[in-house]
């Protein structure tokens, strides 16, 4: 049964096949067509098959084609592969490399995706391709659902803290700052892969909704608002092959500087720190022979209420250039925090307001909020002049001696009554903002440091952001469960096209007990990038000494008593 107040059109019967150059278009009626009268007063779905890359088939489902599409759209790197189109009385077949789409010409409606052996890897069948209208809100949605086989498992969909296996989950693509203990995610990637050797990438930057063997337990259903749905099915035969196709299509992760793989240490967030504090950390690491590669200055390198003005707080760091030179002389690389928001107290705010470089509301005012920084606005990253202006405000910090930037936030992007410089759809820009933001800063670092030396430390992401690494897992907590959810997120990121990933070792919120800290250090050092960072307390290793006392442990049986000796003092200290 259909949900009340919804008008639903489902692909039901193929009524026309239109081969055209390198694409195949199939018209499907949404009712059985038994005579000419059935062609009246009923909708059709137009399904186009094309191939943007070898072994990839793009499916475009359209109801009404006359709607405007202001974007934004994901950047894809497309080729011009040879395709083969064949038709007979039973099927129309579109083939690209090892992948084919086979459309059944006689009822019932069925689209099968076949591998190089002619085996079905997945299908869209009964009530698969659909268009829906909510009669109350008048909003329209387009969806498809692809069949899952027995023992088929789904992975990916971005950095998700929920169970690693996505079967049974409902997942919405909506970047949000929800920490690591919920279904919310900082990095939503509308791409999934299965253990049957294929992946699916939905080419829509908005809040695509995935029902992964949940509402329909035999299928993965994905839907988006609007009259058109576009997705790509990539057949790579193996998980590695799928990721190879996907990253060739949406962008390869670049080579990073060798120094970035060493240990990172930060000031932490709200802790009290100045040059003396930082120097004491560096001295402590050196005295204990703990190699340190990068030191990071978090938010309060700038004066409170001024984020961002890209000016060192003179009360805390009166001579930043000489300080940075001294740290460089130790062989360290240096990082500073930033975000794309401009507080009202920042000297940059009025300049950005006058030049219309911040997001505006439909009534022409600057959009502002007190959430995070008082009266802050948001940089309009669709405006090339605004991006160039912001880069020029950051550039002096890099030339002063900072080597890389932590590009925090980018998730809290408004959507209601918002106007972008380039006319982009605010709903689609909510997630895509993260890509333009991190690309802007990464390109600045390439300009200042050169290819192979650029690196950001980003929190938000969407498809394509793997080209602007590194990304870290956001606000976790100092506990074993949070370490586990962080690990699940990293694994999901790796199956979403991201080669580099990090996290706050021992948890961002609260302070970990020694056992959690030690175990998390081991986990952190096995991640591609390793950072000691927290919220309200320092994360230097010598503050996490074990406080438990060792005692003789005896186990009695009916015939003997086995006593285990405590470790020696040297052995105990070596575990610290």
The DSSP symbol for 472 reads: B
Query: What are the boundaries of each domain within the chain?
Result: 1-67+81-137, 258-340+381-543
Confidence of residue 561 (pLDDT cuts 50, 70, 90): very low
- Percent of the chain at pLDDT exceeding 90: 93
Q: What is the mean pLDDT of residues 145-174?
A: 98
List the strands of the sheet with 120-124, edge to edge: 83-87, 91-96, 99-104, 111-114, 120-124
Establish whether 475 is a catalytic residue.
yes
Q: What is the pLDDT of residue 550?
A: 39
Rounded CA separation 44/39 (Å):
9
Q: What is the pLDDT of residue 136?
A: 94
Q: What is the mean pLDDT of residues 525-534?
A: 97
Confidence check: pLDDT of 92 > 90: yes
Place of tokens 């498992």: 153
The region of weakest confidence among 19-23, 246-250, 393-397, 444-448 is 19-23
Contact yes or no for 294/302 (Cβ under 8 A): no
Which residue did the predictor score with more confidence, 42 or 200? Answer: 200
Angle, alpha carbons 432-419-414 (nearest 5°): 55
Contact yes or no for 27/44 (Cβ under 8 A): yes
Confidence check: pLDDT of 336 > 70: yes
Q: What is the pLDDT of residue 559?
A: 42
CA-to-CA dists, residue 447 to 143, 383, 397, 442, 453, angstroms: 42, 19, 14, 9, 10
The region of weakest confidence among 142-146, 533-537, 554-558 is 554-558
Confidence of residue 70 (pLDDT cuts 50, 70, 90): very high
Q: What is the pLDDT of residue 1?
A: 82
Angle, alpha carbons 305-307-310 (nearest 5°): 130
Q: What is the pLDDT of residue 271?
A: 96
The DSSP symbol for 338 reads: E
The DSSP symbol for 71 reads: -
Q: What is the mean pLDDT of residues 311-320?
A: 97
Give the pLDDT confidence of 465-522 residue by residue, as tens digits: 999 999 999 999 999 999 999 999 999 999 999 999 999 999 999 999 999 999 999 9
Confidence check: pLDDT of 566 > 50: no
Q: What is the pLDDT of residue 380?
A: 98
| HSE, side-chain direction, 13 A CA sphere, residue 539 | 31
CATH topology for 1-67+81-137 is: Immunoglobulin-like (2.60.40)
- Let me know if the fold of 1-67+81-137 is the same as that of 258-340+381-543: no
Confidence check: pLDDT of 571 > 80: no
Cis previous bond, 72, omega within 30: yes
Task: Identify the sign of the CA torsion 526, 165, 497, 190.
Answer: negative
Give the pLDDT confidence of 10-57 residue by residue, as tens digits: 999 999 999 999 999 999 999 999 999 989 998 999 999 999 999 999
Q: What is the DSSP string of 197-254?
A: SEEEEE---S--EEEESSSSTTEEEEEEESSEEEEEEEE-SSHHHHHHHHHHHH-PPP
Q: What is the pLDDT of residue 545?
A: 84
Q: Which numeric CATH code is attached to 258-340+381-543?
A: 3.20.20.80
Confidence of residue 3 (pLDDT cuts 50, 70, 90): confident
Q: What is the mean pLDDT of the chain?
A: 94
For residue 41, give every residue at least 6 positions away whose Cβ sits within 8 Å of its Cβ, in sequence order, or none: none
The pTM of the full predicted model, rounded to 2 decimals, is 0.93
Q: What is the mean pLDDT of residues 163-176?
A: 98
Query: Active-site residue among 309, 380, 411, 509?
Result: 411
Confidence check: pLDDT of 426 > 90: yes
Q: What is the pLDDT of residue 546?
A: 64
Which residue did the predictor score with more confidence, 564 or 436? Answer: 436
3-class secondary-structure state, position 490: helix
Query: Active-site residue among 408, 425, 504, 509?
Result: 408
Rounded CA separation 153/457 (Å):
31
Phi then psi for residue 313, to 5 deg, are -65, 115
Q: What is the pLDDT of residue 575?
A: 33
């Amino acid at each position: 049964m259909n949900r009340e107040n919804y008008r639903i059109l489902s692909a039901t019967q193929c009524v026309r096949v239109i081969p055209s150059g390198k694409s195949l278009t199939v018209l499907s009626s949404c009712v059985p067509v038994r005579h000419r009268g059935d062609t009246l007063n009923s909708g059709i779905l137009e399904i186009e098959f094309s191939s943007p890359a070898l072994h990839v088939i793009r499916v475009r489902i359209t109801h009404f084609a006359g709607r405007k599409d202001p974007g934004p759209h994901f950047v894809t790197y497309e080729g011009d592969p040879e395709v083969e189109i064949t038709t007979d009385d039973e099927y129309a077949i579109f083939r690209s490399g090892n992948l084919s789409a086979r459309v059944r010409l006689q009822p019932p409606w069925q689209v099968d995706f076949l591998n190089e052996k002619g085996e079905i890897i997945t299908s869209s069948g009964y009530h698969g391709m659909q268009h829906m209208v909510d009669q109350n809100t008048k909003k329209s949605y387009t969806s498809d659902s692809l069949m899952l086989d027995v023992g088929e498992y789904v992975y990916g969909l971005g950095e998700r803290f929920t169970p690693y296996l996505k079967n049974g989950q409902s997942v919405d693509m909506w970047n949000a700052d929800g920490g690591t203990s919920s279904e919310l995610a900082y990095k939503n990637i509308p791409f999934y892969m299965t253990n049957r050797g294929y992946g699916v990438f939905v080419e829509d930057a908005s809040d695509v909704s995935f029902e992964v063997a949940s509402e329909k337990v035999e299928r993965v259903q994905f839907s988006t608002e609007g009259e058109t749905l576009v997705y790509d099915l990539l057949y790579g035969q193996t998980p590695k092959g799928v990721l190879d196709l996907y990253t060739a299509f949406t962008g390869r992760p670049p080579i990073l500087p060798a120094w970035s793989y060493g240990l990172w240490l930060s000031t932490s967030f709200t802790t009290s720190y100045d040059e003396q504090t930082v120097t004491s950390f560096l001295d402590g690491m050196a005295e204990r022979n703990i190699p340190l590669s990068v030191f990071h200055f978090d938010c309060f390198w700038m004066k409170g209420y001024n984020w961002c003005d890209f000016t060192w707080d003179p009360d805390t760091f009166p001579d930043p250039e000489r300080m940075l030179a001294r740290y460089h002389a130790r062989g360290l690389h240096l990082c500073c925090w930033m975000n794309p928001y401009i507080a009202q107290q920042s000297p940059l705010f009025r300049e950005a307001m006058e030049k219309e470089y911040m997001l505006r509301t439909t009534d022409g005012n600057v959009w502002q909020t007190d959430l995070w920084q008082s009266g802050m606005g948001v940089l309009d990253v669709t405006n090339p002049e605004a991006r160039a202006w912001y880069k020029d405000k950051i550039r002096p910090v890099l030339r002063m001696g900072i080597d890389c930037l932590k590009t925090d936030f980018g998730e809290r992007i408004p959507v209601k009554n918002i106007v972008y410089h380039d006319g982009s759809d605010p709903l689609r820009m909510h997630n895509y903002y993260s890509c333009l933001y991190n690309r802007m800063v990464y390109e600045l670092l390439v300009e200042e440091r050169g290819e192979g030396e650029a690196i950001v430390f980003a929190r938000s992401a969407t498809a394509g952001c793997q080209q602007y690494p590194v990304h870290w897992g956001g606000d976790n907590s100092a506990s074993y469960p949070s370490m586990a959810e962080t690990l699940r997120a990293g694994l999901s990121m790796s199956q979403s096209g991201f080669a580099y990933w990090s996290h706050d070792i021992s948890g961002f919120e609260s302070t970990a007990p020694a056992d959690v800290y030690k175990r998390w250090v081991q986990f952190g050092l096995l991640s591609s990038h390793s950072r000691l960072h927290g919220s309200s307390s320092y994360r230097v290793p010598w503050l996490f000494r074990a406080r438990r006392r060792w005692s003789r442990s005896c186990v009695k049986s009916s015939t003997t008593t086995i006593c285990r000796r405590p470790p020696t003092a040297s052995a105990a200290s070596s575990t610290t």
